[in-house]
Structure 1
Amino acid sequence: MNRLPLVRHGRIDIDGVEVHYRESVPDRADAPVLLLLHGFPTASHQFRRLIDALGADHRLIAPDYPGFGQTTAPDDFTYTFDRLADIVEGFVDRLDLHRFAMYLFDFGAPVGLRLAERRPESITGLVVQNGNAYADGLSEAARSFIALAPEQTGAEGQIRDLLTLEGTRFQYETGAPDPSLIAPESWMLDQHYLDLPGRKEAQVALAFDYKSNVDRYDGWQAWLRKHRPTTLVVWGTGDPFFTEAGARAYLRDLPEAELHLLEAGHFTLETHLDVIAPLIGDFMERLR
């Protein structure tokens, strides 16, 4: 039987935001660190099985952003991707993380790449799983969604349609060759958090701010070319938002990156943990 790690759950106050996080306690005190940055509309619980699979050998740390999961923020918190990155940066400082790799998924890509720009000396490597940083990777549906603006009639309604139980389940199951492999509590738990007071308003604000990420794609690509982080790209090709072209685009700036394309949807970890966990385990050993 594989060793299972201890997994601790904690809370840290960062500028008035009470950040909830989970982390594994590996066997070795000097185990390499992987910061797990979740996507929309989920939270750190999306990584619970990955933490069980790898946490005995590596220190895996997964925070919930403001507006997600069990993290709580003041009523006047401004929901932008810059502010999410501010909170994650403060979290990294409070945990005294000096050198770490990052797992970038969905929203985790713009949050993590902002952090990488701010402190490139800290980043030991990147695991990119359906975390887009290239215009190539935006599907037509994604482009239309990102183009929505607050002053546009019906725009907020289109965003709120995605925040329903049907919209959340759609994100999990679309592109998955066998939806029976997806635990229904995954999308049901996400919906529970989405339905908390103020959460939908937070997600609407972030949706309108998403175009700020596209505006920074050129800068992030330049960062990748300059720093050449050791990178593993794992991508579900059935993702309705971020296409296979977005995965291949990383090789333009990181020609030595390792690329794995899987027949899966957006939430690839839900259906392909048995493939992804060994890839990340080998990747982390190389970083060691």
Structure 2
Amino acid sequence: MAELRMPQVHHRFAEVNGLRIFYREAGEPTAPTLLLLHGFPASSHQYARLIDALGADYHLVAPDYPGFGHSDCPDPAEFDYRFDSLADVIEGFCKALGLDRFALYAFDFGAPVGLRLAVRHPEWITGLVVQNGNAYLEGLSPAAQAMTANRPGVPGAERAVRQILTAEVTRDQYEGGTGDPSLVSPDGWTMDQHFLDLPGRKEIQVELALDYHSNLARYPEWQQWLRTHRPPALILWGVGDPFFVEAGARAYLRDLPDAELHLLDTGHFALEEKLPEIAPLVAAFLDRQPR
């Protein structure tokens, strides 16, 4: 019988700027490190199966942003829920854990958070795995364009955001665009909705959604960073994503012509259905990272 290699996965908290930030960690720090940044409305739980698949051979670290998952959720009156603020916390998190050389896995919200981090600390980034994480205007579907038009002071903006914080919409984010919904565990969207329904959590998501336009303003800066630093890159994209469309994946090749691009017949949360395809691609990418 072949040897079965499974990692020990630690579930810990780090103190960052007075906040307790929850994170999952597996593997030896001497192995190539992958920082996993989650999306909306998820948490580090979305990476649990990938950590199981790769954590025996690589060092994987997956935090929850403030206001998400098991991390602290300060009141919006006490914490400014903007993408700059999330990047501040993840920057402090990396410093607290001594993470200063790693590949970055940027998915959904993880792209604007992670690319802010990369611009601040290009010396930290050994490579970039992008999975349905947009950084180009052509990657925004009409539905995404409508959502990013919401901002403070726009009539009806808050109401439009609250309409997407329902169990039906959360489930559809996981199952929409998939080839076989039976491969999508209900645990992901059920857990996400559990956290969304906790007191005060929807207000946090409204604050962040109304700040999403700030990411579009940063696209030229991030594209310039990609052109200048040319990090090794693996682009993974579920082409059934109703928010971030295939054109956004191909756009990365303008600035990273040597990037490895894989278009997958699935939806937004591509790991749910395509983990058996994605995990070996990420492993091969990490094997090319410095130890």
Per the normalisation by structure 2, the TM-score is 0.97
Number of the residue aligned with 1:127:
129
SS in 1 for 2:130: strand
Identity across the alignment (%) = 62
Structure 2: distance between partners of 1:94 and 1:250: 31
Structure 2: distance between partners of 1:2 and 1:39: 30
SS in 1 for 2:222: helix
SS in 1 for 2:288: helix
- TM-fit CA distance, 1:173: 1.1
The answer to whether residue 39 in structure 2 is matched with residue 39 in structure 1 is yes
Number of the residue aligned with 1:74:
74
Number of the residue aligned with 2:147:
145
Structure 2: distance between partners of 1:103 and 1:215: 22
Gaps of 5+ in 1: none
- TM-fit CA distance, 1:183: 0.3
SS in 2 for 1:162: coil
Give yes or no for contact 1:147–1:211 (8 Å, CA) kept in 2.
Answer: yes
Structure 2: distance between partners of 1:23 and 1:47: 11
Structure 2: distance between partners of 1:94 and 1:73: 19
Structure 2: distance between partners of 1:248 and 1:2: 37
Number of the residue aligned with 1:23:
25
- TM-fit CA distance, 1:4: 0.4
- TM-fit CA distance, 1:13: 1.5
SS in 2 for 1:21: strand
SS in 2 for 1:68: coil
Number of the residue aligned with 2:262:
260
Q: Deviations along 1:90-137, whole A, 9 cap, x unmatched?
A: 000000012000000000000000000001011000000000000010
The one-letter code matched in structure 2 to 1:226 is T
Structure 1: distance between partners of 2:15 and 2:288: 34
Number of the residue aligned with 1:191:
193
Structure 2: distance between partners of 1:19 and 1:42: 15
Identify which range, 173-182 or 215-224, moves more after superposition: 173-182
Structure 2: distance between partners of 1:133 and 1:185: 29
Q: Which runs of 4+ in 1 moved over 2 A?
A: 149-154
Number of residues of Structure 1 aligned to a counterpart in Structure 2: 286
The 5-angstrom pairing of residues 1-288 of structure 1 reads 1-26=3-28, 29-75=29-75, 76-288=78-290
Give yes or no for contact 2:25–2:59 (8 Å, CA) kept in 1.
Answer: yes
Give yes or no for contact 2:150–2:213 (8 Å, CA) kept in 1.
Answer: no
The one-letter code matched in structure 1 to 2:54 is L
Give yes or no for contact 1:37–1:105 (8 Å, CA) kept in 2.
Answer: yes
Structure 1: distance between partners of 2:220 and 2:32: 30
Give yes or no for contact 1:18–1:73 (8 Å, CA) kept in 2.
Answer: no
The one-letter code matched in structure 1 to 2:276 is D
The one-letter code matched in structure 2 to 1:216 is R
Gaps of 5+ in 2: none
SS in 1 for 2:236: strand
Give yes or no for contact 1:237–1:244 (8 Å, CA) kept in 2.
Answer: yes
Give yes or no for contact 1:16–1:73 (8 Å, CA) kept in 2.
Answer: no
Structure 2: distance between partners of 1:24 and 1:121: 23
Structure 1: distance between partners of 2:101 and 2:19: 24
SS in 1 for 2:210: helix
Give yes or no for contact 2:151–2:211 (8 Å, CA) kept in 1.
Answer: no
Structure 1: distance between partners of 2:4 and 2:253: 34
SS in 2 for 1:216: helix
Per the normalisation by structure 1, the TM-score is 0.98
